[in-house]
Structure 1
Amino acid sequence: MLLDEIDRLKSEIDKLRPFEGRGLDQLKAYYRIGLTYTSNALEGNSLTESETKVLLEDGLTVGGKPLRDIYEATGHAKAYDHMYTLLSNPTITAADVLALHRLFYHQIDSSQAGAYRQEPVIISGSQYPTVAPSKIKNAMSDFFDWLSRHESSLHPVTFAAEAHKRFVFIHPFIDGNGRVARLLMNLCLLRRGYTIAIIPPVLRASYIARLEEAHVDDGPFMKFIAERVLETQRDLLRLF
């Protein structure tokens, strides 16, 4: 079973802990680039992984790239850094998620950054509607109640995948919902001592299909996310 194998590898990784000092900084920087690149690429950002690395590490922009693509990368990196400040908080709150979106979206549209949308949105390719603007506040309140009630009772990987799914189905922001959903999912994993889940752009079609299918049957989506956690664990063990 996938979760059993994930827990077995977690035990192997735990033997390498604590990650600290320069090693910890290098690990965070490694996934800062990887998660920023992949999460943005899933949404159509044109920056390559090497271009993302040069931008985030050296502050050098790549000629001929849309300014929005640059802002998405720098904004995501800021939100990623903020994610680590939330690991020891008692619960994940609305303020936490709004802050993640604000940091990601501020340079793109400061008027919408960190604010729930006031207009309807349609998810391209989906046959299912998102929550109406007038119902978002209550839907998100219910969502955070669900997070606080289930974080300690569900398996961490199941909890993280479920949080991702529920958040995307609400689609509370005008844009950036996927990016924030993946940051939230990884926040859930890190808070319980698990490695993050990275979804490479080559798996975009499968990822979108599993999310769409999750409206009816979320088993395949849960399996998909578990496989991504498992792959990151293997990657981490290769690094060490």
Structure 2
Amino acid sequence: MNVKLLKSIEGKKRELDRLRPLPKAIVDKLREQFYLEWTYNSNAIEGNTLSLQETDLVLRQGITIGNKSLREHFEVINHKEGIDSIEKVIKKKTSLSLNLIREIHGIILKNIDDEEAGVFRRTNVRITGASHIPPSSAKVYNLIEELIQWYFHNYKKLSIPELAAWFHYKLVFIHPFIDGNGRTARLFMNLILMQEGYPPAVILHLDRKKYYRVLREADNGKTSGFLDFVGKSIERSLIIYLNSLKPDSSQNKQGYITLKEATKHCDYSLEYLSLLARTGKLSSVKFERNWMTTIQAIETYLDEVNLKKNK
């Protein structure tokens, strides 16, 4: 993970920890907001067509949405149950294990494909649109055991954001189940984060194409893009938490400004700054559809450009 990004994440995490104990009313509201957003986006990435509002209606009021499949409704209900199970794991301080992975996956596919729920795949598979061919089904059990061993071996060696991102990637790479691998991987990524006091990182449906692209790049050995992609999601969640807990802070969104505001601090157009943000050349974070950066990030980028010119 990019050193600057990791330092930014860890700095914001320390700031969040300094504010503990967090006000219960605010935390409850944030949890409700994040769990809805997490459920909607994680399902939407996999093709679920329920909107954010419809997802909310299914979860909070148990309403059946017309012209939507029963499967899509169960995907929403199951994902929220998966989050609830993760919270129980954290509360009980249950260790990460092979059986826990199967248990959480069993929840994800409950009433959707009960025969495959919580069961490692028994056939070889190919992932549509991906060059990576998942390992043979005969190797899955041992690979998951090795992944668990890897997790405990690296628990103290890697930063928590890196550990969570790597675990997500490695689980998806193994592709241990016929269906539901992405949702399960994102749940465990957040289990690792939340165990250490981080808010859950939500990978946005808007970033679906980039998400799949950095996963493909990682399959080809270029893992930095994926690690940074997850890191940006972690940072975004921390910023939302801090901004909610310190609404009167003179620093808008913890120092973040819009790209339009950023044009006042450089000679670049909004379109060019947007390109720099999308390509990862300018340190930035996406809030909904809008990219935001900092004055410091602009200055750092300008320094790097000038340094290259003077070489």
Q: Does TM, normalized by the shorter one, top 0.5?
A: yes
Residues 195 and 233 of structure 1 are in contact (CA less than 8 Å); yes or no, is this contact kept in structure 2? yes
- Counterpart of 1:91 in structure 2 is 95
In 2, Cα distance between equivalents of 1:169 and 1:49? 29
Shift of 1:191: 1.2
Q: 1:65 to 1:90 in 2, by over 3 A?
A: closer
Please give the root-mean-square deviation of Cα atoms over the aligned residues, in Å.
1.3
- Match of 2:83, SS state, is helix
Shift of 1:90: 5.5
Higher relative contact order (CA 8 A, sep 6+): 1
- Counterpart of 1:218 in structure 2 is 223
Q: How much identity, in percent, do the aligned residues show?
A: 33
Residues 13 and 237 of structure 1 are in contact (CA less than 8 Å); yes or no, is this contact kept in structure 2? yes
Does residue 239 (structure 1) correspond to residue 244 (structure 2)? The answer is: yes
Counterpart residue type for residue 52 of structure 1:
T
The TM-score with structure 1 as length reference comes to 0.96
- Counterpart of 1:134 in structure 2 is 138
Where do residues 70-109 of structure 1 align in structure 2 (5 Å cutoff)? 70-87=73-90, 89=93, 91-109=95-113
In 2, Cα distance between equivalents of 1:173 and 1:85? 23
Moved more, 12-21 or 200-209: 12-21
In 2, Cα distance between equivalents of 1:232 and 1:21? 18
In 2, Cα distance between equivalents of 1:141 and 1:24? 35
Where do residues 56-205 of structure 1 align in structure 2 (5 Å cutoff)? 56-87=59-90, 89=93, 91-205=95-209
Flag structure 2 segments of 5+ consecutive residues without an equivalent.
246-311
Shift of 1:238: 2.2
In 2, Cα distance between equivalents of 1:57 and 1:90? 28
In 2, Cα distance between equivalents of 1:101 and 1:90? 16
Flag structure 1 segments of 5+ consecutive residues without an equivalent.
none
In 2, Cα distance between equivalents of 1:141 and 1:20? 39
Instruction: Tell me how many residue pairs correspond in the alignment.
Output: 240
Moved more, 190-199 or 210-219: 190-199
The TM-score with structure 2 as length reference comes to 0.74
- Counterpart of 2:306 in structure 1 is none
Residues 115 and 173 of structure 1 are in contact (CA less than 8 Å); yes or no, is this contact kept in structure 2? yes
- Counterpart of 2:271 in structure 1 is none
In 1, Cα distance between equivalents of 2:11 and 2:132? 37
